[in-house]
Structure 1
Amino acid sequence: MTKTKYVTDLLTIEEVVSGKLFKIPDYQRGYSWDNEQVEDLLTDIEHISHQDHKHYTGTLVISKDATSERYNIVDGQQRLTTLIILLKELYEIDKEKYSHIHNTFLIQKKGQYILETNKETDAFFKECIIGDKKNIPATIKSLQNLRKSKTQIYKWLRLQNGSIDVIHDTVLNKLGFLCFAPANIKEIGIMFEVINNRGKALSELEKIKNYFIYYATINNKVSLQVKVNNNWESILKYLSESGVISNQDENNFLRNCYLVYYSANKSKSWNVYDELKLKYKPDDKSDLEDKIEEIEGFIDFIQEASQSFAYFTNGDVFIREYEGPLKKEIATVLKQLRCHPVNASVLPMYLATMSYLQDKPETVLELLKIIEITNFRIYVLPNANISRADSKQGDLFFWANELFNCEDWHSDNDDEKYETYLGSEIHGDIFDCTKAQLIDFTKRMCPESVFVQSLTVDLDESIDYYHWNGLRFFLASYEEELNVNRKITWDIEKILISRQQTKKEKLNDYLSREHIWANKNLLQYFPENYIDKRRLGNFVLIGLSSNIQINAWNIENKVKFLIDNSSSPMMQVNELKKKLDKAWTFACSKNRVKKKNFYRNLGCSLIDQRENELIKFALKRWKFEDEKFNRFIEIDTFKAVSQNKNETFFLKEK
């Protein structure tokens, strides 16, 4: 009978490290501890310093690297890395007194670093964390975390008020570790799964990176491991430039990549890591070379998609890196898409389209324009034909997947006939097919009547356009059009400046939506939810240079204030004076002296005028080249009321 061996002793960090070299495998995540985890460790050290015995601090799992003299850290890398940063900062306080730290925990006499981190962070760790260089940019999240931890520890040590020797003694002699070294690679594989699903949560993107390297190691496929290592730093850099910092952000990005590359199945895309583990089982050697090629293709696509996503979210990246044809034209459409308040439904189509940028820039530009129109009319508008329960995303995802994977398709070579949403037969290549599908899909879901309906309030509707998430984008697009007509440059991306940014930098560039007929004006006659106060035509885009409360002023005073106090000249605001004069003349012509009736006529007339212009603008701005919007006549609330008509707009009969 085999006697069970129990671990009975806790090891100090020096007993763990002494005489060894360590490496964090590339399948491990980058350094992920933030202020909270570091603070917990430092608080533990303060508490333990008052004890006279070793305190259990954590478990380290290590394995001998098959290709070097180093030990791979399978588990415990975050804690060990942080403690080495702490020891480095202790050494800097008194290099002579704590000289043993340098050779034991930092760099051996032969010049070898005791700890090598994974490829994602190793150069930065050696040069900036151990080497103290300060001019190297932290371009990705893990590098930013390393720099923040170093700063946090530096500040903490300098608040210890003569207790540095106690801290030194505590770290070296009172922190206790269990150290486990599994005997074979199969045990490490099992532990990989356990470790990958506990502790600080990993994103799906981090998990698949780890899994692909593990898969390459199990199958002795060096090319795959090299591919992951070579691509991942670029992927993380582009995602960082895109503002992708949370696990959820990374998961959403990966989901879109999966939809384009593998499958348009929405449910599967929510669990990419699990789906890929099922698809690529380590013990399944069938068609291994094909699987490796497929995985490498996916990694290449993720890298390409991360760059395309950075182009989408950060115009500076596109201007800096794209040197192909039609740069100005493509940048303009990307800017418009960037300013849309919602874009999740078209992102897979966008990524699939951008995969052809180097070879087919003209086609990409044409598709991007179509995508922008489709997204606005289907998902930005409060479109009555689209509900949360049936957003039609599945169709868009399917077409995106086909666009990416069926580059050689042509209708002439396919015996089967395909039709669009409107029943038109599809002819041409995959790009012709995609364009036809998107255009007819948009025409079906948002014809002219629905378009106009989406921008108006029926007499029995409760919608309030103040709460429409597309309002700022819509009004900014209108402002852009007014400026273009006068050959003036106006940057629509001003709407992306947040209120927090303007407060921090003491600027007045934040553009907000503002009522013309104040929602608290004449509440004795017209409640806040009065229909004309809720209509699209009652809102302008403006940057106010004053914090004065103007939400109860009469219309004529409000208009004068808006014109006089805009922090940046806005054409749509300046145009209010003419419209107000016309509305005033109309209200006076009714010969109704009662204040209530006068203001009802004044407000309604002014808002009718603006809505007529806004709707005509929208129908021109977001129509396809072959589309003839010729049914819209006018907005006339007074005529609608006199005819007992619920809708305030008038269309020509078909």
Structure 2
Amino acid sequence: MKFDSIEKLLNYGIFTIPEYQRGYSWTKDQLDDLLNDLSDVEFIKEHYAGTITLIKSGQEKIGITDLTKYDIVDGQQRLTTFHLFLVSIYHRISEIDPLQADAVIIKNVLNKGKSLLRLNSKDNQEFFFALLNELDINIIKKYAPKSKTQKNLLNTRIHFNTYLQRYTSINTLVKIYNNLLSKFKVNVFELEEESEVGLIFETMNDRGLPLSDMDKVKNYLIYLTHRLNEKTIAKEINRKFGDIFTELMEIKNYSVTRIENQFLKHCYIVYSGDNNNLSDIPKKIKTELIKQREIFAKKNLFDNDTAQREKKIKEIKDFNNFLQKSANYYSAVLNQSFDIQNVNDSLYRLETLGKIESFLPLYLAVLNNKKFKPEFLIAINEILEAFTIRVFIFGNKKGNTGNSALFELAYKVFTNKINFTELKKELRNLIEKNSSNLDLRKSIINMGAYNSISNSSLKLILLDYEYYLQGELSAKFDIGSIREIVSNGKITIEHIAPQTILPGVKAMENINLLGNLVLTFENGVLGNRTFLSKRSTYAKSNFASERELIGYEDWNDKTILERGKKIQKFIMDKWKA
């Protein structure tokens, strides 16, 4: 191990990010941490910037110079960021005075038109190369990233440009450059082969260096293959984890760390059937699933006990294969990217209700079981939607209600101990166990829905009521799909009796109840007006639920409850136990 400055590190040669590594994932928080460290390092001798782990992979000639090539095992996020920052400094100096933009600043970033850091896919590398070379930030802002990796690369380049605009002195910019290169220090590990990676990181973990849970599991599996003298399997683990990282990174609306940790926990639940004390999944895998002590207890395992050795190899390969397949399913569920649109629509509804994460282990189990078909999710989701509406939305139960039972059902599905028909029955039993019709009726009528239910969930419920009313009419209006309406900011939830007390109008108690809420295109027009002054607008609405209101001569606490009972009946009928 060496302790080197960033300048010495960059002088090593050419760096390549292998295909098995995750894409570039740094966002504003990590970038600001780096910039704060750069600001602080002005007043100290040096700053420790973590560990870089490399494997020498060959030579490449650029011009007349032979450069050593390295695969980056760990540290690709930091190295990528350093390259983007150095280029940003160079371009900022060029903006101030092109004559003072010394190419020495980027000599270890770009060399004779070639990037000295190679990303893990052709598309990402071309995008990265364009970011390194383009001076005009307005052109860069027009780039269209095709993946989350490219989006993060673009945001980093723009973020650094914005940060450096505050500096108008070239001397200050050069000082920042020198501080990064000379005062930032890293530990550099050079390994001989991939199977050593797990061995190194298992040791590093004991010294408290941070790794993600997914990295810990990957390195543990590689470490086991090293102990079993199976280098080919180590390469296979790396390749499949590369696929896993790529798949998970493209899931929308989640940070990389959160989605990876959540995915690993859900996979462990399904694969092991264990849903107790899930705070440290890597430790659980080591002690309960693929047991480390069995290898430690038999130092000559791969020499004298072929059956036990083959069993351990199978455990490693089976779990690795399960993780890879599950990453594809996880992405399909959360991105709603199945070939069957009705499956995607049913998942979108649960996402809108804010509870899809509770059911992810069950989805993994269903999709990993060959006896279950993806289209089975439509019927399953209808029941899970009823569970969500009755238990969480109107039942106001804790967010983890039913989790243990759902996790147990997931394991039963995964291990073929329950079929599709039995699963649906068990899910309906779970609804009955956690909700009662009497309490549900009271809650629908009396809950202050406007303040207690999320806007998206409330929109979905009112929209379903709208579709129900439209279905009873001979003349229908095309109001759009659920996705269009839920995401449409122009369609809002209107208080029929306004929240603001108007002069000369008696205050009402039931303002925020479900019976006083309706979807509208006209919230800006309707505003804080009395019911009678809004009736003519309701009469011309495309929404049947607004047109229905003209049947009321007056609007008060009593009529709010009356309309609430109509919606109550609809909800009880649609989302039965």
User: Which band: TM-score by shorter chain?
Assistant: 0.7 to 0.9
Aligned to 2:365: 352
Shift, 1:163, TM fit: 0.4
What RMSD, in angstroms, separates the aligned Cα atoms of the two structures?
4.4
Are the structure 2 counterparts of residues 37 and 399 from structure 1 closer, same or farther at C-alpha, using a change threshold of 3 Å? closer
Which residue of 38, 57, 65 maps to 2:55? 65
CA contact (8 A) 1:106 1:113 kept: yes
* CA deviation vs aligned residue, 1:4-59 (integer Å, no higher than 9, x gap): x9x9xx8554433335343456786654443454455556657878x9xx941335
Structure with the larger helix share:
2
Query: Which amino acid letter does the alignment assign opposite residue 453 of structure 1?
Result: K
* CA deviation vs aligned residue, 1:594-614 (integer Å, no higher than 9, x gap): xxxxxxxx6354234313321
Shift, 1:402, TM fit: 1.3
Are the structure 2 counterparts of residues 294 and 475 from structure 1 closer, same or farther at C-alpha, using a change threshold of 3 Å? same
Map 1:159-238 onto structure 2 (within 5 A). Answer: 160-163=167-170, 166-167=174-175, 170=178, 174-175=182-183, 177=185, 179-181=187-189, 185=196, 188-190=200-202, 192-193=204-205, 197-198=209-210, 204-205=213-214, 207-209=216-218, 211-212=220-221, 219-220=230-231, 221=233, 222-237=235-250
Which residue of 444, 449, 472 maps to 1:465? 449
**Alignment pair present for 1:16 and 2:9:** yes
Distance in structure 2 (CA, Å) of the matches to 1:30 and 1:196: 24
CA contact (8 A) 1:59 1:180 kept: no
Are the structure 2 counterparts of residues 277 and 496 from structure 1 closer, same or farther at C-alpha, using a change threshold of 3 Å? farther
Which residue of 128, 146, 158 maps to 1:151? 158
CA contact (8 A) 1:370 1:435 kept: yes
Which residue of 456, 465, 477 maps to 2:464? 477
Further displaced range: 156-165 or 292-301 = 156-165
CA contact (8 A) 1:545 1:566 kept: no
Aligned to 2:323: 299
**SS of residue paired to 1:382:** coil
* CA deviation vs aligned residue, 1:590-649 (integer Å, no higher than 9, x gap): xxxxxxxxxxxx63542343133212222332237xxxxxxxxxxxxxxxxxxxxxxxxx
> Alignment length, in residue pairs?
527
Are the structure 2 counterparts of residues 226 and 488 from structure 1 closer, same or farther at C-alpha, using a change threshold of 3 Å? same
Structure ID, larger Rg: 1
Q: Percent identity?
A: 21
**Alignment pair present for 1:252 and 2:262:** yes
Shift, 1:144, TM fit: 2.9
Shift, 1:257, TM fit: 3.4
CA contact (8 A) 1:74 1:188 kept: no
Distance in structure 2 (CA, Å) of the matches to 1:73 and 1:191: 19
Shift, 1:106, TM fit: 2.6
Aligned to 2:333: 309
Shift, 1:434, TM fit: 0.4
* TM-score after normalising by structure 2: 0.75
Are the structure 2 counterparts of residues 545 and 195 from structure 1 closer, same or farther at C-alpha, using a change threshold of 3 Å? farther
Distance in structure 2 (CA, Å) of the matches to 1:481 and 1:364: 23
**Alignment pair present for 1:512 and 2:493:** yes
Shift, 1:254, TM fit: 3.8
* Unaligned stretches of 5+ residues in structure 1: 410-428, 458-462, 503-507, 585-601, 625-654
Map 1:416-435 onto structure 2 (within 5 A). Answer: 430-435=419-424
CA contact (8 A) 1:349 1:397 kept: yes
Are the structure 2 counterparts of residues 271 and 541 from structure 1 closer, same or farther at C-alpha, using a change threshold of 3 Å? farther
Are the structure 2 counterparts of residues 548 and 250 from structure 1 closer, same or farther at C-alpha, using a change threshold of 3 Å? farther
**SS of residue paired to 1:58:** strand
**SS of residue paired to 2:469:** helix
**Alignment pair present for 1:497 and 2:487:** yes
Aligned to 2:516: 538
Query: Which amino acid letter does the alignment assign opposite residue 281 of structure 2?
Result: V
**Alignment pair present for 1:573 and 2:517:** no
* CA deviation vs aligned residue, 1:558-613 (integer Å, no higher than 9, x gap): 353276289964321221121x22xx5xxxxxxxxxxxxxxxxx635423431332
* Unaligned stretches of 5+ residues in structure 2: 59-67, 296-308
Distance in structure 1 (CA, Å) of the matches to 2:133 and 2:364: 40
Which residue of 126, 129, 137 maps to 1:127? 129
Are the structure 2 counterparts of residues 389 and 523 from structure 1 closer, same or farther at C-alpha, using a change threshold of 3 Å? farther
Distance in structure 2 (CA, Å) of the matches to 1:258 and 1:211: 15
Aligned to 2:299: none
Map 1:316-327 onto structure 2 (within 5 A). Answer: 317-318=337-338, 322=339, 327=340
Which residue of 427, 433, 439 maps to 1:438? 427
Are the structure 2 counterparts of residues 245 and 448 from structure 1 closer, same or farther at C-alpha, using a change threshold of 3 Å? same
CA contact (8 A) 1:31 1:121 kept: no
Bigger relative contact order (CA 8 A; separation at least 6): 2
